[in-house]
Amino acid sequence: MTFYEELLTGYNIDLNHSGVSGERIAKRLDEISRIGAEENNGVTRIGYSREEKRAKELVAGWMKEVGLEVSMDGAGNVFGRLEGENKGPAILSGSHLDSVPKGGNFDGPLGVLAALEVVEAWRQTGYTPPFPFEVVIFSDEEGSRFNAGMTGSESFMGKMKSEDLDNLIDQEGNTFDEVIKIYDSSREKFLNPSSKEKDIQLFVEVHIEQGKVLEKHNQPVGIVSGIAGPAWLEVTFEGQAGHAGNTSMENRKDPVIAAGIFVSEIEALPRKVSEMAVATVGKLKVLPNGVNVIAQEVNLMVDIRDIREETRDRLIELIYQKAEEVADKRGIEVTWNLNTKIRPLPIEKNLQEKLANVMDEMNIEPIYIPSGAGHDSMIVGEEIPVAMLFARSRDGISHNPKEWTSLDDCVLSVHVLKKFVEKEMIEKAD
């Protein structure tokens, strides 16, 4: 069974109304899933890769077909603009198309296609919005290329400096300046914040939940109440390389042992600061990585998150201290670099209430969910009001080929988004 056929299995065709088409959404999710497809049904579309660019070009083609004016900024962010009956501030909606290595097919693409489907529905019903509406695709949300996420939205909002780009080098040793050439761009163009050229009243993002709250409450769509701020800490333990057979155990300075102790002891640290705090080591690199060699160096990334900035930063300090403590006991060196540090974002209460009113009209119980994952919304939201919707994730699985959101839930999220945007624009017009 193809991905498209699987999506349509059991789909409630009664959800096809008001110009919204589940079949169209399924077809487009299927087409995007083929770009960077893996044998295990997962996908790899790393930020600023040719695969990410191909996916953007595919969606940009759909934007043009529906009559949107398409443009791209210096970060490779793509915008599809629909003019309204009146001039004035636009509502933006969208997400990203890049993925983690061997990721799933809904994280990011659903938000882009939900926004595009709103425009498709308006065209089908002959509706012209009171004010401009833009569909946006942000570059490199996941951060898998440079171990620093959301560079596209950070460029859009003017949050990055030239010295920040100096530290961005991918696993193949390519500098940021070399990589951004894929978009015929440059450092200077990237650092030009395209948001300053736009009049924006609101950004709305649809995303899969990546958790089990909606599944627990048996609801298709939920309201994001706030977004945890991620910090990515790069830690390097440096020991002394040696022969695995000729170096006695008591004379070793093995950074792998130090890294192992450090990783195991991180687990207890988040609960010392808050119930929401988390810390994860998901990436390690051993050098020289030989089977019969005591390693010279271990480099690892710690993903640190909390819904409150002060407790998140306290956890960073505890992890710093733990790294120093382990290195001191093992007689080796440790260095670190904080690659990413983004403020948590609370969502405005009035926007949450407006989303709840739309859900009440649709007989969906409003469920409020804090997001432990970072999103482009949190970057945009530092200066522009944002609202965010979650669509239900089966078993809470994400960043995994088994990631799944039913087509029913995808389509219902589009209907909520559409009604919410229409109400916001009508209120602005009045």
Give pLDDT tens digits for 397-414.
999 999 999 999 999 999
Mean pLDDT of all residues in 293-300? 96
375 carries a ligand binding annotation? no
pLDDT at 293: 94
- Per-residue b or e along 42-56, where b marks 16 or more CB atoms closer than 10 Å to that residue's CB: bbbbbbbbebbbbbb
Contacts of 352 (CB under 8 A, 6+ apart): 223, 225, 368, 387
Residue 252: Cβ within 10 Å count: 18
Q: From 21, 8, 14, 100, select the one nearest 66 (Cα to Cα).
A: 21
Tokens at residue 330, please? 């093992």
Please give the average per-residue pLDDT across 73-79, as a whole number. Answer: 97
Span 164-178, mean pLDDT? 92
The angle formed by the CA atoms of residues 99, 101 and 104, to the nearest 5 degrees, is 55
Q: How much is the pLDDT for 74?
A: 96
Residues 145/100, Cβ–Cβ less than 8 Å: no
pTM: 0.83
Q: How many CB atoms lie within 10 A of CB 136?
A: 26
pLDDT at res. 165:
94
What's the CA gap between 142 and 399, in Å, rounded? 10
**The pLDDT of residue 428:** 85
pLDDT in tens, 176-189: 999 999 899 999 99
Cα torsion angle, 292, 295, 296, 301, sign: positive
Residue spans per domain, the chain: 3-228+344-429, 230-341
Concatenating the DSSP letter of every residue in 120-170 gives HHHHHHT---SS-EEEEEES-SS-TTTT---HHHHHHTT---HHHHHT-B-
**pLDDT for residue 70:** 98
Which tokens go with 363? 């007989």
Q: How far apart are CA 87 and CA 83, in angstroms?
A: 8
pLDDT at 341: 87
Please compute the mean of the pLDDT values over residues 77-101 and round it to a whole number: 97
pLDDT of residue 109: 98
pLDDT tens-digit map of 5-54: 999 999 999 999 999 999 999 999 999 999 999 987 889 999 999 999 99
Please tell me the predicted confidence (pLDDT) of residue 229: 83
Residues 258/235, Cβ–Cβ less than 8 Å:
no
Fold for 230-341, please state it: Alpha-Beta Plaits (3.30.70)
Q: Quick one: fold of 3-228+344-429?
A: Aminopeptidase (3.40.630)
Percent of the chain with pLDDT over 70: 100
Return the closest-CA partner of residue 222 out of 245, 241, 206: 206
pLDDT for the residue numbered 429 = 80
Sign of CA dihedral 180, 183, 184, 189: negative
84-90 mean pLDDT: 95
Give me the pLDDT at residue 230, please: 86
The mean of the pLDDT values for the chain is: 95
Across 364-385, average pLDDT: 93
pLDDT over threshold 90, residue 358: yes
399 is in an annotated binding site: yes
User: So what's the pLDDT on residue 360?
Assistant: 97
Question: Does 142 carry a binding-site annotation?
Answer: yes
Q: What is the pLDDT of residues 298-356, one digit of tens each?
A: 999 999 999 889 999 999 999 999 999 999 999 999 999 998 888 888 899 999 999 99
* Cα–Cα distance measured from residue 384 to residue 203, given in angstroms and rounded to the nearest whole number: 7
CA–CA distance, 225 with 420 (Å, rounded to integer): 16
**Distance between CA 81 and CA 55 in Å, rounded?**
18
pLDDT tens, 230-257? 899 999 999 999 999 999 999 899 999 9
Strands (E), 154-277: 200-208, 221-227, 229-238, 242-243
Is 17 marked within a binding site? no
* pLDDT reading at 430 higher than 80: no
Q: Are strands 200-208 and 386-391 parallel, antiparallel or unpaired?
A: parallel
With a pLDDT cut of 90, the percent of the chain lying above it is 89
On whether the CB atoms of residues 402 and 6 are closer than 8 A, the answer is no
Q: Collapse the DSSP code of 75 into the 3-class scheme (helix H, G, I; strand E, B; otherwise coil) and give the result.
A: coil
Q: Does residue 373 surpass a pLDDT of 90?
A: no
pLDDT score at 303: 94
Please indicate if the annotation marks 207 as binding a ligand: yes
Tell which phi-psi region holds residue 74, choosing left (phi > 0), alpha (psi between -120 and 50) or beta. Answer: alpha
SS3 297: strand
